[in-house]
Amino acid sequence: MTTATLPILEAAVLVVVAPLCGVALAGRRLRCAAPAAALFAAVLTLSALWTIVALGWSAAGGRTLVSYATIGTVGFALAAVGAWFGSVWRDPLDAAACSVGIAMLAGFGIFAVGPLAANLPTPVVNAALIASPIVSAASAAGVDIFRTDLLYRISPLAHGRFDYPAWFTPLAAYGTVLLISLAGTARALRKGWL
Amino acid sequence: MTRSVFVAASLCVVLFAPLTAGQRAGSGAGGLSPTTRQELMKSLSSGAAYLRAQQSAEGTFDANPGVSAVAATALLRQPGVPKEMLMDAGGKRSLDAIVKLAKPDGGIYDKVIPHYITAVSVMALVAGGRPQDKPLIEKGRAYLAEHIWDEGEGVKPTDKWYGGIGYGGSDPNRRADIISLEYALRAMKEAELPANDAAWEKAIKFLQRTQNNSETNDQGWASNDGGFVYYPGFTYHSDGGTKSYGSATYAGVISYAWANVKKEDARVQAVRKWVRDNYTVDENPGMGQKTVYYYYLVFAKALQAVGQPVIVDAKGRSHNWREDLAKKLISLQHPEGYWVNTDKAELQDNKVLVTAFTMQAMEATLQP
């Protein structure tokens, strides 16, 4: 792993961990939400600082900040989805399975479709790229992830037409998911579904 | 210039250029027959008209900087049409759009695949020939030469990537491939990078390690068919393994030519054997129809560069490659003027890109 790939790895971990954290927090009626959010923000800040120091501000400062802003928004959004599902479902295992399943579909779906990706229309591919936190984090960090050696060899995507999302598109998309999920969680907790 | 004047001028070229050109090269000497030449010029003119109709007001094609530069190059090199006319018919707009992409480090690109986009952009600027673009051309060729993997990036001469070039950007993986290298070398050659520049020798190292020629390739996987693979130890040949395939091999032939390797050199002789054994204009050998139009482009440029008008295949049959390729390309043109591949890999479902590749292949076919 190199410094440039750190945000990609962190995004991949978040796809699984963030919804689970959200479900766990919902089980405690979000009592630990504020410290957990502060801890997450602190870890991301440290990671971003370390990346900037390693790569240099002039070389990658702006890209690193955008990349970590994307990761932060994605992390909060996926945790909020987990919290929403955790506050609606009685069984936390159902909530965990559902929220992690959705997050993994968004995160890894475009990689998992394999050769089928070659036949997908470009707008569908582009939408899937926006939905994937891994692609979004990589793109924001300036990493052309589908033309890295392994993916270029095994994925048909790099051999067809696609456009990486502009940096603000995933931020806006996951920001919207965050707001909707927070509203859903608040409504569920008010109604006392848990 | 009005559209009608341009159309009239193009018509004159179609009608009269073949008559004069036919006197220079007859098909008997491995050139094009006057009839084929005339058909080829007509086909080129129709392809150029199709491309011009696709250009945006900003001068770009398909909202893609790579496609735009390849299309601009094809149009600016349209044979038989005065440069001034070509510039007025959208050439200036194309070049202005390319110039806007220039970066302080010499690269000319938008966001992704900076090496490839810089290479095709440099070629377009060279084709335009405007004096004001010369500084950008020189910076662009220096950018490409600097991004060839070498000691500067911590790559030792013993490393398999040494002398190669990849797509560029923030790709954390070190990689290179022969197609990216061919584009870079072509741009460096057209931009007149001096023949004694160290970049050429470095590139030759990578080329050797991509060739199936165990006498000169120090990689353990190398066999002896003489052709080329995508990068050392990896091929896109449909049979897998490390078998050589068409587009990589002609990219290798032409890259050796750009890098000033002599025709008599053992490496060139080895690849000529592959060419004889696999001669065809019906497919990209080893890949079928996949990327066949890039194959046509490097096929034409390579054979034109090595100055081999007739290929004698493994069965002893002689082929006038110019005549074969011209007839094939003419037969593949759609009535609207464009070409497109039935296999969509590598953007070859893009009519603008494929038409531009084909026009450049035709332009190489017309050269002596």
pLDDT digits (tens, 9 = 90+) for A68-119: 999 999 999 999 999 999 999 989 999 999 999 999 999 999 998 878 888 8
Query: How is residue B137 written in tokens?
Result: 């051309």
Of A55 and A141, which is predicted with more confidence? A141
A161 touching B (Cβ < 8 Å)? yes
Of B24 and B49, which is predicted with more confidence? B49
What pLDDT digit, counting tens, does each position of B254-268 carry?
A: 999 999 999 899 999
Q: Other CB atoms closer than 10 Å to residue A102's CB: what's the count?
A: 16
C-alpha–C-alpha distance, residues A47 and A56, integer Å: 14
Looking at residue B87, what is its pLDDT?
95
Considering only alpha carbons, which residue of chain A is nearest residue B348? A160
Confirm if B109 and B118 have CB atoms less than 8 A apart: yes
The residue type of B34 is: P
Confirm if B99 and B136 have CB atoms less than 8 A apart: yes
By CB atoms closer than 10 A (0-12, 13-18, 19+), residue B307 is exposed
Residue numbers in B near A164 (CB within 8 A): 111-112
Looking at residue A152, what is its pLDDT?
86
Specify the DSSP class assigned to residue B131. G
Q: Rounded to the nearest 5°, which phi and psi values hold at B308?
A: -115, 95
B240 touching A (Cβ < 8 Å)? no
DSSP letters spanning B270-332: HHHHHHHHT--SSSBTTTBTTTHHHHHHHHHHHHHHHT--EEE-TTS-EEEHHHHHHHHHHHH
- Shortest CA distance to A2 belongs to which of A177, A143, A178, A103? A143
Answer whether B112 sits within 8 Å of A164, measured CB to CB: yes
Nearest to B175 among A5, A63, A149 (CB): A149
Strands (E), B93-166: none
In the block, tokens 């931020």 appear at A171
B175 touching A (Cβ < 8 Å)? yes
Answer whether A147 sits within 8 Å of B234, measured CB to CB: no
Residue numbers in A near B175 (CB within 8 A): 148-149, 152
Residues written for chain A: 194
Confirm if B131 and B146 have CB atoms less than 8 A apart: no
Q: Between the CA of residue B301 and those of B36, B321, B325, what are the distances in Å? A: 18, 11, 12
Nearest to B172 among A5, A159, A161 (CB): A5
pTM assigned to the model: 0.85
Looking at residue B171, what is its pLDDT?
58
> What spatial distance separates the first Cα and last Cα of chain A, rounded to whole Å?
42
Q: What is the count of residue pairs from A and B with beta carbons less than 8 Å apart?
A: 48
What pLDDT digit, counting tens, does each position of B141-190 carry?
A: 999 999 999 999 899 999 999 999 988 876 556 689 999 999 999 999 99
